[in-house]
Every structure is written in C-alpha cells, then in structure tokens.
Amino acid sequence: MDFKNLGLSAELLRAIEEQGYSTPTPVQQQAIPLVLEGHDVLAGAQTGTGKTAGFMLPLMQRLAAAPAPGNKRSIRALVLTPTRELAAQVGESAEQYGKYLPLRSAVVFGGVKIGRQIETLRRGVDILVATPGRLLDHVGQRTVDLSQLEIFVLDEADRMLDMGFIHDIRKVLALIPPIEQRQSLLFSATFPKEIKQLASSLLNSPRQFQVASDKPAAERIEQQIYSMPKGLKRKVLSRLISAGDWHQVLVFTRTKHGANRLAKQLDQDGFNTAAIHGNKSQAARTRALAGFKDGNVQVLVATDIAARGIDIDQLPYVVNYELPNVPEDYVHRIGRTARAGRSGLAVSLVSPDEDKLLRDIERVLKNKVPRCEIDGMRELIAEHETMLRERPPQPESTGARPQGRKPGQRSGQGQPARADGRKRNSSRRRRPRSGEQRVAS
Ligand code: AMP
C-alpha cells in the first residue's frame, strides 16, 4: 500500500514524502479514503498510530478542493483536542502537511496570552486546532465564527470526557452547523458507553473502524516489571537509568506533587530532570518538553494528562514509577514509546500495594508482563529493611505526615495529602470557568 493509492493530491504527497513517511499506517489506510469520500467517521485509534495524518491529510484535500467562504472569521475545519500539548502537535502536523496548499491553520489553547491568538484569527484561519476552554473564550469574544464550519474533528474523545469536557463539547456542537451540513470525525482510543452516546449525537451515519491499538504496542514494546518496596523505587530507578545509560526517559507519576518530588530527587542523583504537570505554567511545560526533545533534559517526569499526546520520535524508555489507577492509562503511557513502528522499553516499578492494579492491567493486556530484577536487589531490600527497623516509616507520597494521619496509614488512592499538611481546598474541585484549567492535571 502506497500513499499514492489513497487518492491524495500531489501537494500532500510531496509534504508526506518530506516527512519521510513511506507507507500509510493502518489508520491512515482506512480513514483517508473514507474522509475523502465525505463520510462521517468513528475511529478507534490511539496516539502513536498515525491518526493525525489520518484525518488531517484528507481534511486538507477536501478544503483545498472547495472554494473558501467569503467571511475571513469563518473557520472551515475545527479539531478539538483535550490537551495543550496535543493541540500544539496536531497544529504542527497541520503546518507540515499543508505546506504546499493555500490553507491557513492555527492553534489556540489556554495558559498563554490570548492577544496573539486573536491577531492570527483576525487574519483568517481555515483549520483551527483548539482545546475547548480557550475556543469558547474566543467564541465569547467573537474572534471566531464557527457557523460556516465544514469539518469537525473530535480527537481523543475518551480523554475529553475523562477530563470533564462534555459540557464544553456540547456548547461547541451548538455553535456549528447541524449534523447533516458538516462532516464529523471522532477519534477515540476506547469506547465506553459515554463515547457511544456522544458519537450518536455527533455523527451522521458514520463509517466505523478500529485499528488494533494495544496489540502493536504489546508486540513492539518490551515491557518489564520490577517488584520492590515503595521506599526503594527512587534508588532502583536511578540505578536503571545509570546502568542502562538511558539518555531519554519519560517517567510517570500519579500525582503532581509526586512528579515534583521525584524530579528533584533524580536531579540530586545527577540526572538532568524536569517535571511537567498541570500546576506548571504553559511556558514551563513548553520549555521542559523542548529540553527533553532536544536532549538537554534526560529525564522528564510527568503526570498522565500532562503527558498525553506527547509525541517524541524514537522515545526509547518509559517508566511507570507508579502504576496508573485506570488500566487503559497503562496502555496510553507505554504507547509513548515504540511509535510508528519503532521499538521501545516500558518499565514498571511495582510495590506490593499496587498488586491489584497490576492484575487489572494484565487482564486488559491479556498477557502477563515479564518480571525482572536489578543486580543487587536482595542487598538493597535487606539494607532498606534494616533502615526501616531503625527509623519509623515516612509516608512515601508526601514526605511529610499530614494532620490526622498516623505513620503507615494510607491516604485515599490517587488522593495524596498535601505536603504542607493543609486540608485539600474543596473549591479546586469546582468546574473552572473557562475549562482551560482542566486541560492538564
Ligand atoms: P499520531 O498517532 O498521529 O500522533 O502519530 C504518531 C507518529 O507517527 C508521529 O510522530 C508521526 O509523525 C508519525 N507518522 C504518522 N504517519 C506515519 C507514517 N505513515 N509513516 C511513518 N511515521 C508516521
């Protein structure tokens, strides 16, 4: 199968060739002809499968073939993404794929000043990639007009719903032309009931397909489990990074605080480390990601949502410092490596309290992940046990005992206590005004 057989124009084929793509991925083979024919599409595909080109290439071809409407403010195609990072990457792809077409694309997301985005939108944009909150801010300021929209793409729809964007999506749907007057494409890695419901209200007689998402990952990604007491994880991770000479490793923690703490410790261990999560400013996140991509940052510690959509060619190592609460997130996480046919190594450090999470993951994978041990593990455990006997244990998740909790008593899963011991501010749970605070966890 060749890109030429898919019916793409010479301008797009030239851009694809410059990207170095020789063969279309399965999602591209399926999506491109369907979108070119004007069908609505419901696609089961996750990041790493080449889905962006799967919708962006045919979408561009359709826009380029039809005359642009008169009004400069009218967006012709809208791609909604859950995270800023994914929006930036999809926007980058649009720039690259549309290089030889007279189409203008732009990206808008929160966490950065709105002024420059307004300027860009004023000049006229055909394809807009956006996170929901900032898009609605622009709608409120009348800097975008969605009433003439021709193509609507909902990317990573499952993650959108996980992040509570359903109301914002519904608001956007009310602003765009009705279902019969637009082409709609929905991409999702998983299909829980809510996604099926959303799809039925958003798509018009869609063509459906599913690319085996976790199967190629399971085949290409070498996965390893290292079992150990919680308190040894940092030491073991440092040893693995040193011994394996891992030059670029993405490490997942469950919490923002955990990410910060681990990044600090790894930095003390001599690795150039940065952390990304939702409490970091957009500028700090962009800086960390750029440093990681260009090799200045050796270890990037991230929470799930902040890492969602990170697209780094040839990222060789992914570490689950803590297992995710949701087994599907394990698949998303390890999918950061071994992208577009390459191989990768995904290592999980598992403490006894995570045994159930591991069983759930292996049930989803339909496979047992091989168990490994680092050299000297027994000695490390013996040392650790001696240390514990001589010193009362400290709660691992915070480094400080929160008020009202005795040593060793666990906090709720995924609900780490604050390091300062203050009570969690319940107002943080309220729905943010623009939705942009929910863009990253
Ligand atoms: P995506 O799933 O869209 O995030 O794409 C994942 C990665 O695959 C990106 O780095 C793309 O540049 C790359 N990619 C997309 N299509 C192809 C292709 N046909 N051949 C090789 N790499 C590709």
The answer to whether the beta carbons of residues 318 and 334 sit under 8 Å apart is yes
Closest residue to atom 14 of ligand 1, CA basis: 50
Closest residue to atom 6 of ligand 1, CA basis: 48
**Domain at 3-210: CATH architecture:** 3-Layer(aba) Sandwich (3.40)
Rounded CA-CA distance 121/114 in Å is 11
Beta bridge pairs of residue 273 = 299
**Domain at 217-388: CATH architecture:** 3-Layer(aba) Sandwich (3.40)
Pocket of ligand 1 (CB under 6 A): 21, 23-25, 28, 47-53, 311, 313, 339-340
User: Which pLDDT does position 31 carry in this prediction?
Assistant: 97
User: Which pLDDT does position 270 carry in this prediction?
Assistant: 94
Rounded CA-CA distance 84/287 in Å is 14
User: Which pLDDT does position 219 carry in this prediction?
Assistant: 62
Rounded CA-CA distance 340/309 in Å is 14
Whether 3-210 shares its CATH topology with 217-388 is answered yes
For the CA of 45, the nearest atom of ligand 1: 2
Closest residue to atom 18 of ligand 1, CA basis: 21
Q: How far is the CA of 340 from the centre of ligand 1 (A)?
A: 5
User: Which pLDDT does position 234 carry in this prediction?
Assistant: 95
Q: How far is the CA of 183 from the centre of ligand 1 (A)?
A: 23
H or E element, residue 155: none
The answer to whether the beta carbons of residues 80 and 130 sit under 8 Å apart is yes
pLDDT digits (tens, 9 = 90+) for 84-130: 888 999 999 999 999 999 999 999 999 889 999 999 999 999 999 99
Q: How far is the CA of 2 from the centre of ligand 1 (A)?
A: 15
User: Which pLDDT does position 406 carry in this prediction?
Assistant: 37
Apex CA 46: angle with CA 285 and CA 137, to 5°? Answer: 50
Total residues belonging to the chain: 441
Task: List the chain pLDDT tens, one digit each, 441 residues.
Answer: 799 999 999 999 999 999 988 899 999 999 999 999 999 999 998 777 899 999 999 999 999 998 777 676 799 999 999 988 889 999 999 999 999 999 999 999 998 899 999 999 999 999 999 999 999 999 999 999 999 999 999 999 988 988 889 999 999 999 999 999 999 999 998 888 889 999 999 999 999 998 865 445 556 788 999 999 999 999 999 999 998 889 999 999 999 899 999 999 999 999 999 998 878 888 888 888 889 888 899 999 998 876 765 666 667 899 999 999 888 888 888 877 766 555 688 999 999 999 999 999 998 888 889 898 888 888 888 888 888 888 765 655 444 433 333 333 333 333 333 333 333 333 333 333 333 333 333
Q: What is the domain partition of the chain in residue ranges?
A: 3-210, 217-388
Q: What are phi and psi of 27, to 5 degrees?
A: -65, -35
The amino acid occupying position 435 is: G
Q: What is the DSSP letter of 240?
A: H
Tokens 């170095």, located at residue: 20
Q: How far is the CA of 105 from the centre of ligand 1 (A)?
A: 19
The burial class, CB within 10 Å (0-12 / 13-18 / 19+), for 416 is buried
Closest residue to atom 15 of ligand 1, CA basis: 50
Closest CA to 189 of 305, 376, 319, 48: 48
Q: Rounded to two decimals, what is the model's pTM? A: 0.60
Beta bridge pairs of residue 349 = 226
Tokens 């999809």, located at residue: 90
Q: What is the DSSP letter of 345?
A: E
Closest residue to atom 10 of ligand 1, CA basis: 313
For the CA of 49, the nearest atom of ligand 1: 2
410: its two tokens: 């666990």
For the CA of 340, the nearest atom of ligand 1: 8
Q: How far is the CA of 98 from the centre of ligand 1 (A)?
A: 15
